[in-house]
Structure 1
Amino acid sequence: MPEDKKVDKLRRKFLVSTFSLPIFSLILSKKDANHKRSFGDDFPYKARHFKNFEKIRVFSDNLIRNHLKIYQDSVASLNTLIKEINSFANSGKFSLQYYELKRRFSYDFNSVKLHEIYFESVTKDNVYLKEDWEIFKRIKRDFGSFENWKSNFTDLGMIRGVGWVALCYDKLSDKLFNIWIDENFSGILTGCKILLVMDVFEHSYQIDYGIRKKDYISTFIKVIDWRIVEKRLSE
């Protein structure tokens, strides 16, 4: 082969290898970027079982079944949202529908997580809050007494509307707060840890209590598993 043809062949080979590599890398990086926008392989969520809530005797079997079904439906709805969001993210095509799905995601995600905290927080056993527990000391320090805390927690539960009442801990200020969470997201304090939560959507009490929400709140407070609350504070 003549020398000039060898040079041309080597030049073409060099140009192909030089310019194809960045293009190939760009394709991979775009693919990776799309993948990073999706939720990955650790989804879908699975509905958990809460034997302690199922065995509690202060609520009827009908209320317990309905409440758990609403939680399971929230898990199913969350998984459907994730699948649709992933579909948009992997295609790289975004629209108003995608943004609405992302907005809805926080609603269903919080519904799942708040229900799980709620179900974990009750027990059929008689678990009384002990004065030497750290959570009791913090409640007494920040609310003056346990009775003051209970009164404030109950008053928040009587707010007209649907949502949750939560006992939260802010590590930065080292303070406890009772808060109202409107529906499933409005009112959550950024950076605060939820130690205890009470569901005050109608489905949590009306089957048994009708409009007597205060009676439901009183019953809920009696079956709080303070061991769980103490553990959450220490974690």
Structure 2
Amino acid sequence: MVDKKYTPLKFPELKGLKGISDAVLETHFKLYEGYVNRANKLTESLSGLATQGEASGTNPVYAELTRRLGFEYNGMVLHEYYFGNLKPGGTPPGDRLKKAFEASFGSFENWLTDFKAVATMPGIGWAVTFQDPRNGWLSNHWITLHETNNIAGFTPIIVLDAWEHAFVPDYKANERAKYVDAYFSNIDYEAAQARLNVK
């Protein structure tokens, strides 16, 4: 059996975010580590079933564990993008990213309005600006849970966790818009720009 294990990334530089407390972040980091651990466990379990000759679509254990992969893996990866595009005080958008926003939305302000609209929709999930690798266009999407509506092959450029664990108890459950504003006061546009593939 091949031994494949992910190690949770650390984000000590995120202490002192404006409007997102260190206490909420610590809880959030532990939740993220849970996704990493479960992704590892799923990978190990599925590999074991394959080694034992039990990898079969008619095996309900194998089938259900496989269906769970998208939830756990995306829970891990989306959190890494989210933490990775935050920085105390944030950074302004660079020229390449601004041009990408303008090419896809007409202006940075149009992109921001659209993103905030997606981020404040009712539901459990994520708001993500994706880039189409074929033409470089950006588009904003809502991802339900972690896996539904992810766009295959597209690159996440800006990722916001819209689950309540990302902002409660700093804000009430019905105050996600305040959290979204706090998020944007800490957004690291330099990190987002580094994810951009310029066409």
TM-score over 0.5 (shorter chain): yes
- 1:219 aligned onto 2:182: yes
- C-alpha RMSD over aligned residues: 1.5
- 1:104 aligned onto 2:104: no
Aligned to 1:7: none
Structure 1: which 5+ residue stretches go unaligned?
A: 1-34
Equivalent-residue separation in structure 2 for 1:125 and 1:204 (angstroms):
18
TM-score in terms of structure 2 length? 0.92
Instruction: Encode CA deviations 1:78-126: one digit per residue, 9 max, x unaligned.
Output: 1111121111010012311111001101110000000000000010144
Equivalent-residue separation in structure 2 for 1:174 and 1:49 (angstroms):
30
Structure possessing the higher relative contact order (Cα contacts under 8 Å, 6 or more residues apart):
2
- The letter of the residue matching 1:77 is R
Aligned to 2:169: 207
TM-score in terms of structure 1 length? 0.79
Please tell me whether the aligned partners of residues 36 and 72 of structure 2 are also in contact (alpha carbons under 8 angstroms).
yes
Equivalent in 189, 194, 198 of residue 231 of structure 1: 194
Shift of 1:177: 0.5
Please tell me whether the aligned partners of residues 124 and 145 of structure 2 are also in contact (alpha carbons under 8 angstroms).
yes
Aligned to 2:6: 45
Equivalent-residue separation in structure 1 for 2:31 and 2:197 (angstroms):
30
Please tell me whether the aligned partners of residues 53 and 120 of structure 1 are also in contact (alpha carbons under 8 angstroms).
no
- The letter of the residue matching 2:53 is G
- 1:122 aligned onto 2:83: no
Instruction: Encode CA deviations 1:188-225: one digit per residue, 9 max, x unaligned.
Output: 11221111100001100121011210010111112111
Residue range with higher mean Cα deviation, 191-200 or 53-62: 53-62
- The letter of the residue matching 1:221 is F
Instruction: Kindly indicate which of the two structures has a greater share of residues assigned to helix.
Output: 1
Please tell me whether the aligned partners of residues 128 and 156 of structure 2 are also in contact (alpha carbons under 8 angstroms).
yes
Secondary structure of the structure 1 residue equivalent to 2:156:
strand
Please tell me whether the aligned partners of residues 52 and 120 of structure 1 are also in contact (alpha carbons under 8 angstroms).
no
Please tell me whether the aligned partners of residues 46 and 75 of structure 1 are also in contact (alpha carbons under 8 angstroms).
yes
The structure whose Rg is larger is 1
- The letter of the residue matching 1:223 is N
Aligned to 1:63: 24
Secondary structure of the structure 2 residue equivalent to 1:188:
coil
Residue range with higher mean Cα deviation, 76-85 or 63-72: 76-85
Equivalent-residue separation in structure 2 for 1:155 and 1:165 (angstroms):
9
Equivalent-residue separation in structure 2 for 1:54 and 1:166 (angstroms):
23
Please tell me whether the aligned partners of residues 103 and 137 of structure 2 are also in contact (alpha carbons under 8 angstroms).
no
Percent sequence identity over aligned pairs: 27
Aligned pair count reads: 194
